[in-house]
């Protein structure tokens, strides 16, 4: 009588492991089918976004080829300076890239803007990373550059506009 109980336990173990394998197989198939369905729904949207981005890039290149002037018209009196890229005084392995635009009170003066560009470049080379860390340091940097521009332009530039500021 003890023999039938032992064989019943083994068949129960076999059916339990078989059910586990079947369950894992069904879940794998459901996961694969769901991934395929989501991929077919999302993939066309991604392809469409790439085409839109490529069209925008082509339009931007076309405008650049037409020759957009760095110096704007006399109507708004704004001069965008060439990007300033330099290493800092300390630590010297850190680099700064700065793009600045100047708002003139009257018609823009190219010579003054080039002098200001060189003055800002010389100043950036004397600044350490600790001096420009955080929002307060950035504000001090802006104030210092504005003061240098005021001195160099003798009041002909009313505002310095920071377009980009990157430290690497």
Whether residues 51 and 86 share a domain: the answer is no
Whether residues 90 and 61 share a domain: the answer is no
User: In whole numbers, what is the pLDDT of the chain averaged over residues?
Assistant: 82
Phi-psi region of 99 (alpha: psi -120 to 50; beta: other; left: phi over 0): beta
Residues of the domain holding 57:
1-68
Whether residues 98 and 21 share a domain: the answer is no
32 burial (CB, 10 Å; 0-12 / 13-18 / 19+) is exposed
Whether residues 10 and 59 share a domain: the answer is yes
Question: For the residues of the chain, what is the DSSP string, one character each?
Answer: -HHHHHHHHHHHHHHHHHHHHHHHHHHHHHHHHHHHHHHHHHHHHHHHHHHHHHHHHHHHHHHHHH---SB--TTTTEEEPPPEEEE-SBSTT-EEEEEEEEEESSS--HHHHHHHHHHHHHHHTT-BGGGG-HHHHHHHHHHHHHHHHHHHHTT-EEEEEEEEEEE-
Residue 70 pLDDT exceeds 50: no
* pLDDT given for residue 148 in this prediction: 93
- The Cα 37–Cα 18 span in angstroms is 29
Whether residues 24 and 94 share a domain: the answer is no
Whether residues 142 and 160 share a domain: the answer is yes
Distances (CA, A) of 125 to 57, 96, 112, 166: 34, 9, 20, 14
Structure tokens of 74?
Answer: 């006399």
Whether residues 107 and 43 share a domain: the answer is no
- The Cα 92–Cα 72 span in angstroms is 35
Whether residues 115 and 160 share a domain: the answer is yes
**Does a structural domain hold residue 73?**
no
Whether residues 82 and 161 share a domain: the answer is yes
- Tens digits of residue pLDDT in 87-129: 998 888 999 999 999 999 988 888 999 999 999 999 999 999 9
Q: Which residue has the higher pLDDT, 43 or 91?
A: 91
Percentage, residues of the chain above pLDDT 90: 43
- The Cα 6–Cα 29 span in angstroms is 35
Residue 139 pLDDT exceeds 80: yes
Whether residues 56 and 125 share a domain: the answer is no
Whether residues 102 and 156 share a domain: the answer is yes
**Does a structural domain hold residue 10?**
yes
CB 19 within 8 A of CB 12: no
* pLDDT given for residue 119 in this prediction: 94
């Amino acid at each position: 009588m003890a023999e039938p109980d032992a064989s019943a336990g083994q068949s129960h173990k076999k059916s339990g492991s078989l059910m586990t394998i079947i369950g894992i197989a069904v879940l794998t198939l459901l996961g694969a089918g769901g991934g395929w369905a989501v991929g077919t729904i999302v993939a066309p949207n991604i392809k469409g976004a790439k085409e839109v981005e490529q069209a925008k890039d082509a339009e931007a290149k076309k405008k650049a080829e037409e020759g957009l002037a760095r110096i704007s018209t006399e109507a708004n009196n704004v001069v965008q300076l060439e990007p300033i890229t330099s290493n800092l005084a300390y630590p010297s392995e850190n680099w700064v890239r700065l793009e600045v635009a100047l708002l003139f009170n009257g018609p823009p003066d190219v010579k003054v803007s080039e002098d200001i560009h060189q003055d800002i470049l010389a100043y950036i080379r004397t600044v350490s990373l600790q001096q420009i860390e955080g929002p307060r340091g950035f504000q001090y940097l802006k104030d210092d550059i504005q003061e240098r521009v005021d001195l160099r332009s003798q009041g002909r530039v009313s505002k310095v506009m920071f377009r980009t500021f990157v430290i690497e």
